[in-house]
Structure 1
């Protein structure tokens, strides 16, 4: 994608993400009905995930098919919403009242998961598993944005170390907007020449590669 167009795309996505963060949180407070409140909250997570997924995937559009691009966006959208399923799993009940009145935060809301995903993301990006690394990148975006939005009220939960302080509203919006670009930047670092030459001294690469548009080698998995 040409640089001027990419700038416009980033401006539009940043605007949409910011508006979604602001309006989504306000919409949750408009009703006291438990079901409507839960739906508004989860829909906001899903929309933030969708726009974040687009912001991440568009940076690889010249190296992915349309099908893969849409799959990546859908992955971030769906996971951002489905993370909240752990409330019902933790409650061992499908009743909303049980799921929203837990004594502790459920397991998928442990932000230590982000570091586990980041480790796999770094490994797959560095070792040329291109498609797998992009899927993990979208999962990273989904978990970071979901946990950051929750951190406005409760802070991050890094088990077994405990909770951080609450994230400010401005900090939340900044982190959400920066996340897809930082995750993509990490990918570019993993694919950089110096790092690849360093890894090449210790890892014998398979012949099952194809040359990407920027001269990099990517496994087609």
Structure 2
């Protein structure tokens, strides 16, 4: 029964994410007023972030409290929206016209940030800093989905290397839908037997190694 419910949840979330991507982008394209266009664009980022956060959090619902679950969802929702604040920071202005007419892309839109978050996510998941790893997980989801949506128009920006080509719409939707599941899957790999055996053998860490015995133990925080 539990597996069937999870399947239905994934189908519903996949459908909602796809609809949000399609309708949100079409609405932004059709809107002519600059302020309304900016609000619609940011709202689409935020909704995608919220749905992605839900898709990620439900995969850990048996191991997390309701409070932690809502925190993860809200974090993904908020970060997906707040990334765009760097436009105003880069412009050093509160005027929308200045923020949307920058000579270069602002710093939080550098996709190299994704790899930094990924490294922290893999490390904290492997060492069983559970709550911390899930927080990095939703941050990773937020940045990947936000940057992928922007990449449809301008490509990814991997500083200091440069920009990629534009991402096709189909690839954008597929990446957006798969991101929370792939990020959760990585968490499972980090906690798998082979990875933990490697850590136990070469980094001298073990789940059963207690504090006070001259070593370390994983922190489930």
TM range (shorter): over 0.9
**Equivalence map 1:82-101=2 (5 Å):** 82-101=82-101
Partner SS, residue 29 of structure 1: helix
- The answer to whether the 8 Å contact 1:49/1:145 transfers is yes
The structure-2 alpha-carbon separation of the partners of 1:199 and 1:154, relative to structure 1 and needing over 3 Å to count, comes to same
**Equivalence map 1:38-187=2 (5 Å):** 38-187=38-187
**Structure 2: gaps (5+ residues):** 212-216
| Paired position in structure 1 for 2:214 | none
- The answer to whether the 8 Å contact 2:205/2:218 transfers is no
- Distance across 2 between alignment mates of 1:81 and 1:218: 33
- The answer to whether the 8 Å contact 1:156/1:165 transfers is yes
Partner SS, residue 63 of structure 1: coil
- Distance across 1 between alignment mates of 2:143 and 2:87: 15
| Paired position in structure 2 for 1:203 | 204
- Distance across 1 between alignment mates of 2:23 and 2:153: 16
1:189 matches 2:197: no
| Paired position in structure 1 for 2:24 | 24
- The answer to whether the 8 Å contact 1:20/1:48 transfers is yes
- Distance across 1 between alignment mates of 2:50 and 2:111: 20
TM-score (norm 1): 0.94
**Structure 1: gaps (5+ residues):** 209-216
- Distance across 2 between alignment mates of 1:90 and 1:207: 48
Residue deviations 1:66-95 (CA, integer Å, cap 9, x gap):
000000000000000000000000000011
TM-score (norm 2): 0.94
Count of residue pairs the alignment pairs up: 213
